[in-house]
Amino acid sequence: MGRSYIPIVGILLLFFCLVSVSQAEYLKYKDPKQPLNVRIRDLLKRMTLEEKIGQMTQIERLNATADVMKKYFIGSVLSGGGSVPAPKASPEAWVQMVNEMQKGSLSTRLGIPMIYGIDAVHGHNNVYNATIFPHNVGLGVTRQVFICSNEDPVLVKRIGEATALEVRATGVPYVFAPCIAVCRDPRWGRCYESYSEDPRIVRTMTEIIPGLQGDIPGNSRKGVPYVAGKNKVAACAKHYLGDGGTNKGINENNTLISYNGLLSIHMPAYYDSIVKGVSTVMVSYSSWNGIKMHANKDLVTGYLKNKLRFRGFVISDWQGIDRITSPPHANYSYSVQAGISAGIDMIMVPYSYTEFIDILTSQVKNGIIPMSRIDDAVSRILRVKFTMGLFENPYADQSLVNQLGSKEHRELAREAVRKSLVLLKNGKSAGNPILPIPKKTGKILVAGSHADNLGYQCGGWTIQWQGLGGNDLTVGTTILDAVKQTVDADTEVVYNENPDENFVKSSKFSYAIVVVGEPPYAETFGDSLNLTIAQPGPSTIHNVCGSIKCVVVLITGRPVVIQPYLSDIDALVAAWLPGTEGQGVADLLFGDYGFTGKLARTWFKTVDQLPMNVGDKHYDPLFPFGFGLTTQPTKY
CA-only gyration radius of the chain, Å: 27
Q: Which of 252, 317, 345, 592 is catalytic?
A: 317
Listed in sequence order, the residues at least 6 apart from 304 whose beta carbon sits closer than 8 Å to its beta carbon are: 240, 270, 281, 310, 314, 343
Can the peptide bond before residue 611 be classed as cis, meaning omega within 30 degrees of 0? yes
Nearest alpha carbon to residue 250 among 190, 292, 203, 310: 190
Which residue among 243, 523, 587, 592 is the active-site one? 523
Cβ proximity of 534 and 518 under 8 Å: yes
Question: Is 317 an active-site residue?
Answer: yes
Q: DSSP characters for 558-612? A: S----GGGGGG-SEEEE-----SBTHHHHHHHTTSS------SS-B-SSGGG-S-
Return the amino acid letter for 26. Y
408 an active-site residue?
A: no
Cross-strand partners of 327:
none
- Amino acid at the residue 304: L
Integer Cα distance of 485 and 186 in angstroms = 34
Query: Looking at the chain, how many residues does it have?
Result: 636
Contact (CB, 8 A) for 307 and 274: no
The residues, any chain, with a CB within 8 Å of residue 71's CB and separated by 6 or more, are: none
Q: How far is CA 568 from CA 12, 169, 595, in A?
A: 96, 47, 22
Q: Beta strand pairing status for 254-255 and 236-240?
A: unpaired
Edge to edge, the sheet with strand 313-315 lists: 236-240, 280-283, 313-315
How many CA atoms are closer than 13 Å to the CA of 278, on its beta-carbon side? 33
Catalytically annotated residues: 317, 523
